[in-house]
Amino acid sequence: MKYDQHLTSLPWHDYELLDSGDSMKLERFGEFIIARPETQALWQKLRPALWESAHAEFTFHNTKGSWKMRRLVPESWELAWNNARFLARLTGFKHTGVFPEQIKNWSWIKTRVEKLDKPKILNLFGYTGIASVVAAQAGALVTHVDASKQSLGWANENARRSGVPEENIRWILDDALAFTKREVRRGTIYDGIVLDPPAFGRGARGEVWKIGEDFHALLEALKDISSNNLHSFFLVNGYAAGYAPRSFAQAVESTFEVGDEGECGELHIRESSSNRVISAGIYVRFVR
């Protein structure tokens, strides 16, 4: 395993991190500029005047967050990365459904899938499904699992906008661990596994997910459905889980035979006008 292999996402035509500081970040999603809290941004803003151009700002009042609208923002609007099309929205949890720090992982998934012949890919905690879309466009047959009906609908819409044939993605409303255990009993094998587990969550039937208690059990189950064939792959992301990359890496190493091809690190987003970066998550990945 190669440690501290940080991945830095750079601006692209539909996204850029314009500025950050004072525990906030200013981002452009398509034509709309959004200001959101960012606990990592302990520094000062470099372009304070630019913040006046924000269309919307997420603020907290008595621990409850909401969007303050300064200019008209539609309920949803379309963005693109390569051939993938997806909707951005201002959600009540300050997210937009688009996670730009994942660009390097999207590229990695695309490359991995293209080395395989119609591989079966499992995407757990799939949320809005951009990784599923990228994999399907590269030739994969994807099983996308999420416990939120709303998120599944959002992901399905992203796939339709991206021109992905319906038969290329199977949509599953279920708890990730429960589904994986059933796949073990069914003897299903996947050529690629992608997952982005939260620190805490609830399954479709009220199951409780706690990463500190359930992560190891999930990894053990995933090992039983993971292919050992050449070029098969595994990718786990961590967002706001409170763990270091090496913690995730050592958990993966305790279950899988990772070898020298494994790598882990932080996921960074670089500002468009400076070399400053925001640490936006962690990852561990390897290829057989």
- Which domains occur in the chain, in start order? 12-78 (2.60.40.1180), 79-88+94-287 (3.40.50.150)
Separation between Cα atoms, residue 133 and residue 160, nearest integer Å: 9
**Joined tokens for residue 160:** 């339709």
Q: Which residue has the tokens 């906030």?
A: 24
Look at residue 9 in the predicted model and tell me its pLDDT: 98
For residue 272, the one-letter residue type is S
268 CB burial (10 A radius; 0-12, 13-18, 19+): buried
Bridge partners of 19?
26
Angle at 108 between CA 230 and CA 95, to 5 degrees: 135
The per-residue pLDDT for 200 is 85
Strand partners, 210: 200
Residue 242 pLDDT: 75
Residue among 100, 24, 126, 17 at smallest CA distance from 65: 24
CA 70 to chain centre: 28
Reading the block at residue 57, the tokens are 């700002």
pLDDT category of residue 260 using cuts at 50, 70 and 90 = confident
- Assess whether pLDDT exceeds 70 at residue 240: no
Instruction: Determine the Cα–Cα distance for residues 253 and 4; give it in Å rounded to an integer.
Output: 15
In whole angstroms, give the CA distance from residue 267 to residue 280: 6
Q: Which residues pair with 124 in a beta bridge?
A: 145, 195
- Tell me the two tokens of residue 276: 């400053």
Contact between 1 and 258 under an 8 Å Cβ cutoff? The reply is yes
User: What would the mean pLDDT of 85-113 be, rounded to a whole number?
Assistant: 97
> How many CB atoms sit inside 10 A of residue 40's CB?
14
pLDDT in tens, 118-169: 999 999 999 999 999 999 999 999 999 999 999 999 999 999 999 999 999 9
Query: Between the CA of residue 73 and those of 67, 76, 85, 167, what are the distances in Å?
Result: 11, 8, 19, 34
Q: 3-state DSSP call for residue 116?
A: coil
